[in-house]
Amino acid sequence: MRLAAIDIGSNAARLLITEVSLDREGNPLFNKLNLVRVPLRLGFDVFEKGEISKEKRGMVLQTMKAYGHLINAYGVKNVIACATSAMRDASNSSDLIRKVKLETGLEIEIISGDLEASLIYENHVAEHMDTEHSYLYIDVGGGSTELTFFADGKLVFKQSFNIGTIRLLKDMVDERKWDEMKDFIKVKTKGFKQITAIGTGGNINKVFSLSKKKDGKPLNLELLKDYYKEIASFSLEDRINIYKLREDRADVIVPALQIYINVMRWADAAEIYVPKIGLADGLIQHLYYELAAKGITS
């Protein structure tokens, strides 16, 4: 069966189309068919003005129409569409959601930060790693950072913080918010040994790609600090040219590294694995298991 997931984030919207088949034991295998990313950058409107501008509303509508055409072209019958921090904060998001539904048939659900953290965890990456470690998922977006902590075979906590790359670029994160995150992490991870981070999001994926590390190998905290100092020392234009970054990646990669570094320091995590998964992957798995519970597997 083919499934589609749409993730409308504060920096970009993503459409993931996946083919799901079953192995000999009846376990699902997820094969990515297509991933389309559109840099809508809703957070630049919302976090400053509290609403989505007319121009951005038009971009969202056109993006969703294009996604609808792709979904139809792939013959996908089951779709899940979610929006996160920017749409949560926008005063006019409900009007836009109604318009999208009316003109495309696609229904967008605005999800809470806690649910967003849970959906990242749907990927169950930590379950395939050794049980001697504790694992802290760190998902950094434009508007928020989702943390999910996994230890002793159990989900210990999930928490969302309104600290994101676009909020940092707009200078909308004060010391109090940083302190709240720091205190929470230190208290909640105290007593757990050998904490390893699992990083998700486009920025950490890009840093992993720049590192030339082999898939499955972790990045260490000191390397992230080096990248932060190095990339931050260049202008936006130089980052684009030197690191071959898109403009909508070149500006947010530095604040993203700042968040990953701080979270890892406060959790005393020396390494971070980058499995190249994200919210869209979690949405696909969530949708599959919902359908399977209803007996729909084809």
Predicted local distance difference test score (pLDDT) of residue 125: 54
218 and 265 inside one domain: yes
273 and 152 inside one domain: yes
- Over its C-alpha atoms, the chain yields an Rg (Å, rounded) of 19
Predicted local distance difference test score (pLDDT) of residue 152: 82
In a domain, 119, yes or no: no
Q: Where are the alpha helices (DSSP H) in the chain?
A: 42-49, 54-73, 85-89, 93-104, 113-121, 165-169, 175-189, 202-211, 221-232, 236-243, 247-250, 253-267, 279-293
Domain count along the chain: 2
For the whole model, what pTM was predicted? 0.90
In a domain, 32, yes or no: yes
H or E element that contains 108: strand 108-110
At CA 279, angle to CA 273 and CA 280, rounded to 5? 115
Q: For residue 185, what are the domain limits?
A: 124-277
Q: 150-164, 212-226, 283-297: which has the highest mean pLDDT?
A: 212-226
pLDDT tier, 131 (very low <50, low <70, confident <90, very high otherwise): low
153 and 248 inside one domain: yes
β-partners of residue 18 are 3, 32
Check pLDDT > 90 for residue 73: yes
Mean pLDDT, range 137-143, rounded to an integer? 94
Chain Cα centroid distance, residue 104? 24
In a domain, 118, yes or no: no
Check pLDDT > 80 for residue 295: yes
Predicted local distance difference test score (pLDDT) of residue 268: 96
11 and 106 inside one domain: yes
Specify the range with the lowest mean pLDDT, choosing from 15-19, 174-178, 289-293. 289-293
pLDDT tier, 119 (very low <50, low <70, confident <90, very high otherwise): confident
Higher pLDDT, 279 or 2: 2
159 and 271 inside one domain: yes
Distance CA 36, CA 288 (A): 20
Higher pLDDT, 136 or 124: 136
Mean of the per-residue pLDDT values for the chain? 93
184 and 226 inside one domain: yes
Q: Looking at residue 67, what DSSP letter applies?
A: H
Tell me, what CATH number does 71's domain have? 3.30.420.40
212 and 242 inside one domain: yes
Check pLDDT > 80 for residue 237: yes
199 exposure class (CB count in 10 Å sphere: 0-12, 13-18, 19+): buried
Token representation of residue 32:
């990515």
Check pLDDT > 60 for residue 211: yes
Mean pLDDT, range 213-227, rounded to an integer? 95
Q: What pLDDT, in 10s, does the model give residues 81-111?
A: 999 999 999 999 999 999 999 999 999 999 9
Q: Looking at residue 127, what DSSP letter applies?
A: G
164 and 273 inside one domain: yes
Predicted local distance difference test score (pLDDT) of residue 29: 92
Predicted local distance difference test score (pLDDT) of residue 193: 81
pLDDT tier, 254 (very low <50, low <70, confident <90, very high otherwise): very high
How do the residues of the chain divide into helix, strand and coil, expressed in percent and rounded to 5? Answer: 50, 25, 30
Distance CA 13, CA 39 (A): 6
Tell me, what CATH number does 188's domain have? 3.30.420.150
In a domain, 34, yes or no: yes
In a domain, 255, yes or no: yes
